[in-house]
Structure 1
Amino acid sequence: MPKWNDYMSEARSRGALALELFVVQSVPAGDGADVKAALPDHLAYQARLEAEGVLVFAGPMSDESGEMMEGMGLIIYRAASFEAARSLAENDPMHRAGARSFTLRRWLINEGSITLSVELSGQNVSLT
């Protein structure tokens, strides 16, 4: 298996974007009361990271059927290193309180597209 940095270098040499982000999968570790109690601090933390340009995306995910909420959340960070991303995840009030646990992975974005539409007079923003 190639080392991460070797893989990034090879992707860049092919002309791929090779944008490195960090993905946190967060799952409940305690009961629902723990999650509910930590929610205001968690949301404030997320808002602060968003304002700092560190938080890329965050939100809940459905189960595999697409119909039910199982409590899994996905958080994507911009960070200087895996260790810095781990620190961000560890300092999330949900994780600090033990209400949720997480796994952290590097994500190398090579392909895809995003369209952002901003309608100033209509005060509408859409991301597709």
Structure 2
Amino acid sequence: MRRFFILIPSTVILLFTACKQEFDPSKKANTLHKVSADTVATENQRSVAAVKKELTTRGYQVFDYIDAKTGDTTLMQQYFIAFLKRGPNRSQNKAESDSLQALHLAHLGRMYEEGYADISGPFGDDGEVRGITIYNVPTLKMADSLANMDPMVRAGRLVIEVRPWWAAKGFPLR
């Protein structure tokens, strides 16, 4: 029985250590942040200048600055936030609404899988703005076009407002 009580803490520590080694927030951010497959896989291993050159070559707007506290160069990229707002046509019955919701989620999933969108989600209230999607594309026109492909938007249940937004490359959410 005494061995059992010694084994349990040892096993827990071993599992915790193994899990901790597998969870690396910077790796998680790289797998979720899709600019291109090459950029995702090597972004943290490449120089800021190399990432900046690739992004500008592909039409992205970027700038960099030196962090006064650390002396590190931070690369900023322009993204586009699509605000999904309550639309004028909300008269669908439950079956239609449920079907549109399934199609909406499939659309957002596809945007994420294809690397066009990094983050999507609803707001936690019942306000006019229902949710957001952050598009990782080079132009406002492209973000607007992708956002307007959403079946909820096409049905008029949601309307889109897209705005440019700047964020530092490679920083995970916390």
Q: What interval of TM-score do these two structures reach, taking the shorter chain for normalisation?
A: 0.5 to 0.7
TM-score by length of 2: 0.51
Is the strand fraction higher in 1 or 2?
A: 1
Among candidates 102, 107, 112, match of residue 165 of structure 2: 107
User: 8 Å contact 2:79–2:138 — kept in the other structure?
Assistant: no
Structure 1 unaligned spans of 5+: 1-7, 63-67, 116-127
Structure 2 unaligned spans of 5+: 1-60, 67-72
Instruction: Say if 2:107 is the partner of 1:45.
Output: yes
TM-score by length of 1: 0.67
Query: Distance between the aligned counterparts of 1:108 and 1:80, measured in 2?
Result: 12
Which residue pairs with 1:85 in the alignment?
Answer: 143
Is the helix fraction higher in 1 or 2?
A: 2
Judged with a 3 Å threshold, the aligned counterparts in structure 2 of structure 1 residues 54 and 111 are, in CA distance, closer, same or farther, namely closer
The size of the alignment, in residue pairs, is: 103
Q: CA RMSD in A?
A: 2.5
Query: Distance between the aligned counterparts of 1:36 and 1:28, measured in 2?
Result: 16
Structure 1 runs, 4 residues or longer, greater than 6 Å off = none
1:111 Cα deviation after fit: 8.6
Bigger RCO of structures 1 and 2 (CA < 8 A, at least 6 apart):
1
Instruction: Describe how 1:1-128 pairs up with structure 2 within 5 A.
Output: 11-12=63-64, 14=66, 15-29=73-87, 30-31=89-90, 33=92, 35-62=97-124, 68-70=125-127, 72-110=130-168, 113-114=171-172, 128=174
User: 8 Å contact 1:45–1:92 — kept in the other structure?
Assistant: yes
Higher gyration radius (CA)? 2
